[in-house]
A and B are shown apart, each in its own frame.
Chain A
Amino acid sequence: MVVGELDEADVDRIFHALADATRRDILTRVIRAEQSVSALARHYPMSFAAVQKHVAVLERAALVVKERRGREQVVHIDVTALRRAAELLDAYEQLWRHRARAMEQILAEDREGEQS
């Protein structure tokens, strides 16, 4: 079990997300307090859509969560919950690896039966 660790793809997404100055700035702001996407957009010389894209990259890296509240989209940090979810999905992956292996054993017995 790799609880406490992230797989390489997760790590890649996190590093990619943090490689950009605007995204680091967005993250710093939402660590302090949750913010709506429109409030965030006022801080940067770029379109609302561009800011939204940056937020989406942070979301994919599981660094922030975006919630729709009325007409606003509110961004907040939820690393712990998301990291825990990732760890639990890792555990579930191991269960499926085990199941597929057990399935293969049953199928292999069929083939042995045919040969004998």
Chain B
Amino acid sequence: MSVISIDKDVQALTLTFVAEFDASVERVWRLWEDPRQLERWWGPPTWPATFEQHDFVVGGWSRYHMTGPEGEKSRGWWTITAIDAPHRLEFDDGFAGEDGEPVDTMAPTHGTVSLEAVDGRTRMTVVSKFVDAEQLEQMAELGMEEGMRLAMGQIDAILAETR
């Protein structure tokens, strides 16, 4: 795996993440499609994810929770807004309350995933769009930031890989 580029647009509040994998497009697509695989990579290191529902069709809903180091749960949902298998996926990702239902006080993040074959590898581009800085702030408060701080420990290894 190599991280090709990361582009942060502070004005537009988007993060564009591009990575390449030594696998086919169909194989990388299954990482998104299969909830048992998805939950192995979606949560931050100390907040593993469990997908209780993953209805992978346009208009379909997913329900998941992430379990923190103290056993606390952060609940979330997806709704799929576009699918063109195995090349394109768009979804909204938001936080949910105790009952698993979307919290309407927080806008969802919109994700656009593109997969394309490049020299026998798969290039994955993920564009994450936030509605406003406050939304980013709330995400950080909900325990994401701690998980990401811990993820920093792995960054050296990733950078070594991309050289």
Contacts and interface: CB of A to CB of B under 8 A. Distances in A.
Interface of A: 1, 10, 59-60, 62, 81-82, 84-86, 88-107, 110-111
Contacts of B8: 86, 89-90, 93
A53 to B, nearest CB: 16
B31 A103 contact: yes
B10 A95 contact: no
Given A99-B42, A102-B41, 15 more contacts: A10-B10, A59-B11, A82-B133, A85-B133, A89-B15, A90-B8, A91-B144, A92-B136, A96-B6, A100-B17, A100-B19, A103-B1, A103-B31, A106-B40, A107-B22
Given A85-B13, A101-B158, A96 B126 contact: yes
Contacts of A89: 8, 10, 13, 15, 136
Given A1-B149, A95-B147, A95-B148, A104 B1 contact: yes
A92 B15 contact: yes
Given A89-B15, A93-B6, A110-B27, A104 B21 contact: yes
Contacts, number: 107
Interface of B: 1, 3, 6, 8, 10-11, 13, 15, 17, 19, 21-23, 27-28, 31, 37, 40-42, 44-45, 124, 126, 128, 133, 136-137, 139-140, 144-145, 147-149, 151-152, 154-155, 157-158
A110 B42 contact: no
A94 B27 CA distance: 24
Contact of A97 (B21, B23, B137, B155): B155
Determine chain A's interface SS by DSSP, over half rule.
Answer: helix
A1 B28 contact: no
Contact of B148 (A81, A98, A101, A111): A98
Given A90-B8, A97-B151, A106 B15 contact: no
B89 to A, nearest CB: 14
A30 B31 CA distance: 49
Given A1-B148, A98-B45, A104-B21, A62 B140 contact: no
A10 B11 CA distance: 12
Contact of A88 (B28, B42, B140): B140
A103 B41 contact: yes
B108 to A, nearest CB: 14
A18 to B, nearest CB: 17
A82 B124 CA distance: 28
Given A98-B45, A98-B154, A100-B1, A88 B137 contact: yes
A104 B23 CA distance: 9
